[in-house]
Amino acid sequence: MTDTVTTQLTNGLTCELPSSSPLAKLLTSQRTWVGPTAKERQAILREAKSVAIVGASPNATRSSYFVGTYLQQSSDLRVYFVNPNADTILGEKAYPDLASLPEVPDIVDVFRKASDIPSVVDDVVASGARTIWVQLGIYDEEAARYGEEKGLTVVMDRCIKVEHARFNGGLNLMGFDTGVISSRRSR
């Protein structure tokens, strides 16, 4: 007889799984930190006037470049690029650090590896910004809790471009397959 584990799912239901299964291992290692709800993320984006992209890249194949392009073209946000190794990104001045920005950004969007997030949290706190938004695929639960302890609103493992498009009816723009072939850009 196989050993089983009983797991409670987020919807409240429980199920039994073989303890050696990959799904059982995944469920026992699930994240406990959640972050802002969809409505709270929507409010963060609606209230923001500026965003700084830390780890922005001048390389058009990098996701930070794509996100910067989207935010410049599809939002009213003032977008600042932070990269100490670049002079300009997407036609805008690149800043070496958050302290060099001409204003305190409402959101600091982070494209750095998970192990860098705790030091970026310290930089965000020192800058006076109130929200750190850590990009999709980057997750550090301890850093999230640390940021909240420092008074930050923390969004983690979410793409600001996807969330902005989601809340503004633009999920069909800039790279999302709608199933419609057209030479016209939707407005």
pLDDT at 175: 47
Q: Chunked in runs of 10, what are the mean pLDDT values of the chain (187 residues)?
A: 67 72 66 87 96 96 94 95 97 97 98 94 97 93 95 95 85 49 56
CATH of 38-167, one of 3.40.50.720, 1.20.1240.10, 3.20.20.140, 3.40.140.10: 3.40.50.720
**Maximum CA pair distance of the chain?**
66
- List every span in the chain annotated with CATH 3.40.50.720: 38-167
Distances in Å between the alpha carbon of 123 and those of 4, 30, 127?
Answer: 45, 28, 6
d(CA 84, CA 34): 31
Question: Which are the contacts of 77, defined by CB distance < 8 A and separation ≥ 6?
Answer: 48, 49, 50, 51, 71
